[in-house]
Amino acid sequence: MTPATTSGKSNGRPKVGIFGLTGCAGDQLQILNCEDELVRLSQRLEIVDWVMAKSDNDHSSRLDVAFVEGVVATQKDLDTLKEVRARSRVLVAIGTCAVWGGLPAMRNELPREVLAREVYKKDADFLDTVEARPASDFVPFELMLPGCPMERHEFLRLVNSLLVGTRAELPRVPVCWECKSRENLCRVIYFKEVCCGAMTRAGCGARCPSHGVACAGCRGPVEEVSYDANITMFKDRGISWVEIARRMESFSAPVWMKLRLEKEVRK
């Protein structure tokens, strides 16, 4: 998106909206945490609708770019998402919840009524929740930026690329690639832990293994996962597929299951 091709511009700046569906608002916080860069961004973008960060919001004008985080877990979420889609030229899913389902989708494993009664007791009736699914299941998105939360440097790069009219590419390699380049001791090979690095998209700098913790797959799957090679690697170290699937379920349950893991577990 170059400024010359944007719609609904104000003073040459593209109009932007930032929206949260059901989630922890961690990706919006990441934008706020951009601090110094945020001032520069506000000079290049006109943020017209961002309920979390400002009070004078315009809820109806056309948007050049809208960022959406979170899952659809209520009818209100779905209505909001459809409205945002209708008024936006470029829609960007930010964070693993919006892209893959993330932590909120874990609850889909259990009946909602049971969970609601357990948590809210007799007040559970006011809930209007539906199955938690990623925003990307409901409307088309032009771009997706996974991560729990998304990485600030990736967000800033994506915004810059939109401003100059190029496309920011996400890493196509797994977390293992970054992990190796940091010369970490592999959590699988040396510690026999269940680490999802080989199947997870890089971009976080192998944050967890670099701090001695196995990757939990929070960025979702990398393209072209070699499941067979991974099965062999874990099996050779006495780690079952059930353990792997359980760990991966936490952040990207729907997609991991939709892919091949469940099939592999049942082999």
* Contacts to ligand SF4 by CB under 6 A: 175-176, 179-180, 184, 186-188, 195, 197-198, 200, 204, 206-209, 214-219
For ligand SF4, give the closer residue by CB, 51 or 229.
229
**Which pair of structure tokens corresponds to residue 178?**
């970054």
For ligand SF4, give the closer residue by CB, 20 or 197.
197
**Which pair of structure tokens corresponds to residue 94?**
């930010």
CB of residue 150 to ligand SF4, shortest distance in Å: 11
Q: Which residues sit opposite 47 in a β-bridge?
A: 16
CB of residue 77 to ligand SF4, shortest distance in Å: 24
CB of residue 41 to ligand SF4, shortest distance in Å: 24
Residue 260 has a CB neighbour count (10 Å cut-off) of: 13
Contact between residue 72 and residue 40 where contact means Cβ atoms under 8 Å apart: no
Indicate the residue whose CB is closest to ligand SF4.
197
Contact between residue 248 and residue 199 where contact means Cβ atoms under 8 Å apart: yes
For ligand SF4, give the closer residue by CB, 119 or 213.
213
For ligand SF4, give the closer residue by CB, 169 or 183.
183
Q: What angle do CA 174, 177, 181 make, to 5 degrees?
A: 155
CB of residue 244 to ligand SF4, shortest distance in Å: 11
Distance CA 67, CA 64 (A): 10
CB of residue 158 to ligand SF4, shortest distance in Å: 18
For ligand SF4, give the closer residue by CB, 158 or 208.
208
For ligand SF4, give the closer residue by CB, 66 or 97.
97
CB of residue 159 to ligand SF4, shortest distance in Å: 21
Distance CA 199, CA 172 (A): 11
Q: Residue 160 is inside which H or E element, if any?
A: helix 152-164
Show Cβ contacts of residue 196 under 8 Å, excluding neighbours closer than 6 positions: 175, 214, 215, 216, 217, 244, 247, 248
